[in-house]
Structure 1
Amino acid sequence: MFRHRGKNRTFRHNLRLASNLSLVAGIVNSVGVLAISTLTTNVTGHFAYFSEELITGQFTKAIPFILYILFFFLGAFVSNSFIEIAIINKKKYIHTTPMFLEIFLLVLAGFWNDWNFKVGENTNQIAYILLFSMGLQNALVTKISQSTVRTTHLTGLFTDLGIEISQYFFYRNHPNTVNLKKNIFLKLSIIVFFFAGCISGTLLFYQIGTKTLLVAATLITIALTMNNLIFYYTFTRRKFRRKKNEQRSTTRHNLKDNR
């Protein structure tokens, strides 16, 4: 689900990518709200808060909100920079660096209390880390899926879903109906898994606090591991088939020569 790009990418690849990482985003979203009362998967609301503090002359209070926006942007910038460098150097694993960086950041935020910090006194720092990690994830997913999948926020998703469901009612007999159904199913899957992430994240937060983020990091690790296992299994099977076909063709040639 991470490796394939362009024409080699299928609906299944996007569905796996969407379900895994939207679940992670849902968990991060719930932990951000419950632990530090801050939105950490999107920046839309932060623009409103920044504008309010700016207009009322509370410039010191306005600074964190513009930094929230900046850190999400920086996450997206860094993520795509790593991807572009990997593409230029013709690396097979363009997703590896952004994903490992996201795992590291989630683990760092998950153990925040164990670093002798108190959540109430360091909410901005945790918010910066989580917003940066979600910027990383959103840029990676957008790049790999060619803007088909977005996992960290649902506003644009519900807009697209509303448009596509409306189109389905008007163009049921259109040749592109199959693709339209797939797009609708993909977006519904993202919504369901994001919601599942929010629910599970909330339940876990009341049990283990910010260490819930370790679960999100584990899910990414599992996704990367499964992706590698599937790739090597497919690669090995193709290699085995190729050898088998070569052996068959060699046997046929030998039989012909003997005749």
Structure 2
Amino acid sequence: MLTRLPRWVEIGAFLLAFLAGSVNAVGLLGFSHQAVSHLTGTATLFALDLVRLDGGHSLHLLVILLSFLLGAALSGVLIDNTALKLGRHYGFSLLIEAALLFGAMLLLSHDNSMGHYLASAACGLQNAMVSTYSGSVIRTTHLSGIFTDLGTMLGNRLRGTPSTAGG
């Protein structure tokens, strides 16, 4: 049993947390002051817009939610839904995440809202990848965790591997 995480895991966790915070900062600055990785707030705004019959904005928020789910599903396709194991496709997943974020940056710098969807997909991909090696269990207080579990399970099914949520 590990009593302390290896140094490389600590450094990696710090860098991933820094990256997620940076993506959130961009989302907060560029999209109705709503982060693209915190789906609880996005889902709440989506529900409020549905009640207000604001079709355009609610569609935009729905696509952000679905983009996160698809990013998590991509992680489920690429990475087996088990504990950390070297040799899995973590590096490839991070390259895809980087490409998604680069595309988001280019689109958002030209005021194209598609950038929000790419950033949300990158967040879903990262969240699912981290969940597969951190041993997370189903989270019930934040929708990001539930969407991550659903996306990972969907990705595993697409790969043909049965899975259980959160591990």
Q: How many Å separate the matches in 1 of 2:14 and 2:4?
A: 15
Structure 1 residue 11 and structure 2 residue 5: aligned? Answer: yes
Q: How many residues align?
A: 136
Q: How many Å separate the matches in 1 of 2:86 and 2:17?
A: 26
Asked if structure 2 preserves the Cα contact closer than 8 Å seen for 1:32 and 1:39, the reply is yes
What are structure 2's unaligned runs of at least 5 residues?
143-167
**1:19 partner amino acid:** F
Q: How many Å separate the matches in 1 of 2:21 and 2:57?
A: 27
**1:118 partner amino acid:** H
Q: Larger relative CO (CA 8 A, sep 6+): 1 or 2?
A: 1
The 3-state SS of whatever aligns with 1:11 is: coil
The 3-state SS of whatever aligns with 2:89 is: coil
The 3-state SS of whatever aligns with 2:49 is: helix
Q: How many Å separate the matches in 1 of 2:67 and 2:56?
A: 18
CA positional deviation for 1:9: 9.9
Of the candidates 39, 42, 45, which is equivalent to residue 41 of structure 2?
45
Structure 1 residue 147 and structure 2 residue 136: aligned? Answer: yes
Deviations 1:60-106 (A, max 9, x none): 33111111111111111111211139x9xx98142122111001111
Asked if structure 2 preserves the Cα contact closer than 8 Å seen for 1:74 and 1:132, the reply is yes
CA RMSD of aligned residues (A): 2.9
Identity of aligned residues (%): 27
Which residue of structure 2 lines up, in the alignment, with residue 33 of structure 1? 28
Of the candidates 84, 87, 91, which is equivalent to residue 92 of structure 1?
87
The 3-state SS of whatever aligns with 1:147 is: coil
Q: How many Å separate the matches in 2 of 1:102 and 1:54?
A: 30
Change in 2 beyond 3 A, CA 1:112/1:53:
closer
Q: How many Å separate the matches in 2 of 1:82 and 1:9?
A: 29
CA positional deviation for 1:142: 0.9
Q: How many Å separate the matches in 2 of 1:49 and 1:99?
A: 29
Of the candidates 105, 109, 118, which is equivalent to residue 110 of structure 2?
118
The structure with the largest alpha-carbon Rg is 1
Q: How many Å separate the matches in 2 of 1:53 and 1:35?
A: 19
Structure 1 residue 77 and structure 2 residue 70: aligned? Answer: no
TM-score of the aligned structures, taking structure 2 as reference length: 0.69
Deviations 1:24-77 (A, max 9, x none): 111111111113333112211111111111112223331111111111111111
Of the candidates 24, 27, 31, which is equivalent to residue 19 of structure 2?
24
Deviations 1:135-181 (A, max 9, x none): 00000011012128xxxxxx86xxxxxxxxxxxxxxxxxxxxxxxxx
Matches within 5 A, 1:113-192: 118-119=110-111, 122-123=112-113, 125-147=114-136
Q: How many Å separate the matches in 2 of 1:107 and 1:15?
A: 25
Q: How many Å separate the matches in 2 of 1:30 and 1:50?
A: 20
Change in 2 beyond 3 A, CA 1:17/1:9:
farther
Q: How many Å separate the matches in 1 of 2:22 and 2:69?
A: 20
Change in 2 beyond 3 A, CA 1:91/1:11:
closer
Deviations 1:203-236 (A, max 9, x none): xxxxxxxxxxxxxxxxxxxxxxxxxxxxxxxxxx
Q: How many Å separate the matches in 2 of 1:17 and 1:73?
A: 23
Q: Which has the higher helix share?
A: 1
